[in-house]
Each structure stands twice: as structure tokens, then as C-alpha cells.
Structure 1
Amino acid sequence: MVVVVDELCTLGVSFSSPNSKGDSPLWSALESEQDEIASVLVRHGVDIDCWSSTGPEGCLQTLLHRAIDENRESAAMFLIRSRCDLDSPRQTGLNGEGDNKILDKASPLHLCCQWGLVQVLKTLIDHGANVNAVDSLNRTPLHTAIENQHEEIIMILLCHPSINLKIRDKAGNTCFAAALTFRNHKAAQAILERLPTAAEQMDQRGRNFLHVAIMKDDLESVLFLLSIQVDVNSRVHDVNQTGA
């Protein structure tokens, strides 16, 4: 069969003709785990991204988005190794379809952090995916991994030399703040090892994490912050200079 596909490609068969389900030849090969045929198609110049309206609510997505959403790790890693688009989020359909799904602007890395696909995430990173990509709420993949409590992914991202731990989401939360919010003290401690000043960062009102934890009567966070020896004498950066 591989030889036949190779010959058909050489003779100029269309790469884009969908089957009865609307799937491209490349997706059909990957879905049925026929990587040799998929490799032949790629070698002959098939569109690896194949943007189409197969996404949620009819939005446009690539084969990589689809593979990640359907938990087809082998297919996703094949596409990544074949140099597909690593960072683009889904897009609205030609008639605006899929608004609710594409407004989050989640990159493939965000999707891996959402679903816990460790091997796909590693492959994305190995091939240069942007670990500091932000979605529509300015959340990085690390924000998403912390929110979804995927410990292995959190540690993989924190080991990346280019990780930016100062990025704040639209609510003003850094990844350290997200770790405190979701009671993930292991992640918070790991962030501090990369960025020792993370616990002293101020919010828009000039309060650090200890000030906020005390105001919220959040005993667990207070005890954690004291255990990492935050500055208990730090004052709020406002006109009153209130202490903790």
C-alpha cells in the first residue's frame, strides 16, 4: 500500500481531496496509525497543518489541534516532528463560527497543559514551541498547567531556560499567585527556586502575597508564606504604608 500511495503522489494525485467524513488523506493515515503512508504524503509536500472547519462549533483548526483534543498523542507527535505550525491558536470559521471556543486563543501548548499530554508537550518544547505564549486572558501554559494540577507538566515547564515567571494574567496573577490560589505549594516552591523574588511581587494596590493572605484570613497560605521566610515587615506600597 505504501508503494501505491507513493506512486499516486508521484503521478500528481490531489492531497486535499477529503473522504466521505470530510477528512484529509493525511488525517486518515494518522487516525488509522499508518505512519509510513503519512510519511510518504509529507515527503510529497502535503499540507501538514490542513486548516479546516472541523474544530469545536465549526471553528477552524489544524490537524495538531485536533490530534491533541482527541488525545491522539502519536498523531500529534508525528505532526510536530514533520514541522507543523506549533503555536497558532484556533481561528473563527469563514462565517464567524466557533466564537466561544476560539476566543480563549489557546496555543497547542496550552491544550497539552489542559489535557495533561506530557509526551506531546515535551515534543512541542523540543521543536521550539513558545513556552511563554499567552491566551486571551494572558495566561501562559504554566498558568494552565497549575490550574489543572498537572504536576509533571508544571515541573517540565519550570525547567525550561526561557520560562518567564513574571507574566501576569488579566486578573494580575503571576504563576506563583496561581499556585497559591490552587493550593499547589510544591509548584509555588519550585517557582521560588527559579525566581526567589516571586513571593514579594506586589499587586496593583501595592500588596504582596502575605498582605493579601492575611486580609483574606487564608491561614494555609499565611503559614506557607511564613515557611518560605517572606519578609514579615514588608509594608503595603501605598500612602498608609501598612505593615503585614
Structure 2
Amino acid sequence: MKNTLGLLLTVLLLGCQTDSTLAPSKFKTIMIKSVGEVETLPDVATFQINLNCLQKSVKVSKQCLVDKSNELNSKLLSFGIKQDDILTTSVNMNKSYTWRNNSQVFEGYNSSITIYITLRDINKLDQIYTELLENRNLELSSLAYTHSKLDSLKNEAYVDALKKANTLTDKLLTELPASEKEILKIGNVEISASMPESKEQLEQDGYAVAEVAAQNRSIAISKGTVLIKATLFVEYQIK
């Protein structure tokens, strides 16, 4: 009889342990998508230079391009631009034609080189652009602005995103039957929510995904400033 009771008690205890292990913990969560922003003045400019030489023979056109590109490189160095910030991206040579009297007329051989410039002293931009435009063999294009410390500015944008997420969650708590929050997950890519209850039940209880601001965008220029945005996904447990 004692052996039977002992076996029965053991089975009951194991049953209780199994039930507690399988039963999911009941808690509520809120997922916040937040976009942080940092706006600052640019301190770096980038642009492209296209240098052309049109001559009647291949040999003369090639030599013209060599001479003109060497002159241009010396000019750029004299502006204080470092050699590492002068990048040749393409060199081409093609036959050039023009349309005259309803027929194509051969003009010569057009050799060209494209150079990508990074100007780290943005205060010199007006002077450099003006002098380069005076060269009839040059074409300038693709002027853009950026900042030399994008990584640190991006980190500041993430901090701003977290602050916004915390502020929004605090406001939501004033409208919900909860008063405390705790961060469960945080990431800069979309994360899955820790939802022990069904999605339908969460929506009935009024706890759904909240979104702050718009989708993350790449660096853009607005009113003469560089705008850096960073997106965070933050999941909170509330109680």
C-alpha cells in the first residue's frame, strides 16, 4: 500500500512540473518602430570632372589626354586636394561624328577621362569650381554634399530613435492598464515580437505594433544641411 501511494505521489509531482514547464508566461508587449534624426552642416563635397580631347588622329588624341590630365592633376593638388581624393573612374576613346547636310561627318577621335573628387575643405568649393569651369576641356557634374563623421552622427541618430521610442511608450502607458515598461529586445532591423499570446488576442486587448515617424531613408540634403536618419525596433514588456 505504501509503495502504491509513493508511486502515485511521484506521478502527481511530475505532472505538476510538466504543466508549469509547458504553460507559457503571461505578459504583454509593445513593439515600437522609431526613426531618429540628426541634422548638421556638411563639411565634405564630392563632384566629377570629365576631361575630353578631340583630335584628328588616335595618337594625337591620346597624347592630348595624357598632357591635359597631368595638368589637371597638378591643378587639383595645388588646391590642397590630396592624391587619395583624386580617383580616376574611367578612360575612354571613341570616334566622333557630327550631322551635316543630311549625312554623318567624321570629326576625329575623342579621348576622355572621368575623375571623382572628394573635397574635404568645403570652404574652397566656390574657388575651385570657378577656376575649373574656365577650362574649356572640362565638364563638372554630380556635385553632392556629405559629412566626414557619418558613423558618429548615425550613432547619435540611433540614440535619438531610442529616446523617441521611450517617450512614445510612456505616453501609451497613460492610456493602458499598465504603468511599467522594460526593454526586451532592440535592433536596427525588424525583429520578431515575443508574443506568448495569439495575435488576435493581443489586438483585442489593444496591444499592437506602434510606429514612430516614417520609413528610414538614406542621407539627403535639405536646406543646405545633411540629414542622417536611423531606424530602431524596440520591444517592451509592460505591466
Query: Which is bigger in relative contact order (C-alpha 8 A, separation at least 6)?
Result: 2
What TM-score do the two structures reach when normalised by structure 2? 0.20
Please identify which structure carries the higher helix content. Answer: 1
Please identify which structure carries the higher strand content. Answer: 2
What TM-score do the two structures reach when normalised by structure 1? 0.19
